[in-house]
């Protein structure tokens, strides 16, 4: 009778902890459409909460004083949650990080400020196909797509400086990225930024961008040349 005790304990342990492990594996897919702010780590010393869903993109060029390849965390949010105290685009990342422990967004674009969005339609179609292919590794990106009317109230696009996680850095050389060029105005000043989004998430980013622009997409959406 005693010899069966370890076996029974082992079975009970597997039964108890397997659901927990499964829920942890699928945590992103289950919660990614939650618009509440959820904790995400940018690096070991700097933690900040970001809205979900969000995208890790890289800066290629534009009006911001950033190094090419700088990682950014981006999201579409309700206007009332956007930080309207974002610093001037002329401030550098090093200066920004010295001014506040919790980093303010370096880009805040309200819906009525957007003047043009240049996209790659072929890359979008390829991305949409990839996220539907079971073996592509892009299936997770379907959870980033807007659902029903969940994004209708999104009236601001925001971006923060960020650091990629260990996994993102490790697989970055395997990812192809495609550009999105955004042009917006604030007062009399016009600014622009070119962001690079990876293959898997390009379609979801553009789907949310269209939802963000709303009826204005017909006048602001353009094809990249």
Per-residue pLDDT reduced to its tens digit, 127-162? 999 999 988 889 999 999 987 665 556 689 999 998
- Confidence band (pLDDT; 50, 70, 90) for 85? very low
* pLDDT surpassing 80 at residue 121: yes
pLDDT of 38: 38
Tell me the domain boundaries of the chain.
1-31, 36-223
Mean pLDDT for the stretch of residues 168-191: 85
* pLDDT surpassing 70 at residue 102: no
Would you say 70 and 40 are in contact if contact means Cβ atoms under 8 Å apart? no
pLDDT of 155: 84
pLDDT of 95: 46
pLDDT of 150: 55
* pLDDT surpassing 50 at residue 55: yes
Residue scoring higher pLDDT (38 or 166): 166
Q: Which of 29-43, 90-104, 173-187, 190-204 has the lowest mean pLDDT?
A: 29-43
């Amino acid at each position: 009778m005693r010899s069966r005790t370890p076996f029974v304990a082992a079975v009970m342990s597997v039964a108890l902890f397997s659901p927990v492990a499964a829920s942890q594996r699928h945590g992103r897919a289950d919660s990614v459409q939650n618009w509440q702010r959820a904790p995400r780590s940018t690096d070991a010393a700097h933690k900040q909460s970001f809205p979900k869903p969000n995208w890790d993109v890289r800066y290629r060029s534009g009006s911001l004083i950033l190094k090419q390849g700088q990682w950014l965390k981006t999201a579409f949010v309700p206007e009332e949650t956007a930080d309207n105290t974002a610093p001037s685009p002329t401030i550098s990342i090093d200066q920004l990080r010295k001014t506040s422990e919790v980093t303010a967004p370096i880009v805040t674009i309200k819906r009525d400020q957007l003047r043009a969005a240049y996209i790659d339609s072929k890359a979008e179609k390829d991305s949409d196909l990839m996220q539907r292919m079971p073996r592509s590794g892009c299936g997770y990106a379907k959870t980033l797509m807007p659902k029903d009317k969940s994004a209708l109230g999104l009236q601001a696009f925001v971006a923060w400086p960020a650091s990629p996680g260990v996994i993102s850095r490790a697989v970055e050389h395997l990812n192809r990225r495609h550009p999105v060029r955004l042009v917006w105005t604030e007062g009399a000043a016009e600014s622009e930024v070119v962001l690079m989004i990876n293959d898997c998430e390009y379609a979801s980013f553009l789907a949310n961008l269209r939802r963000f622009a709303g009826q204005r997409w017909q006048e602001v959406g353009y094809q990249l040349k």
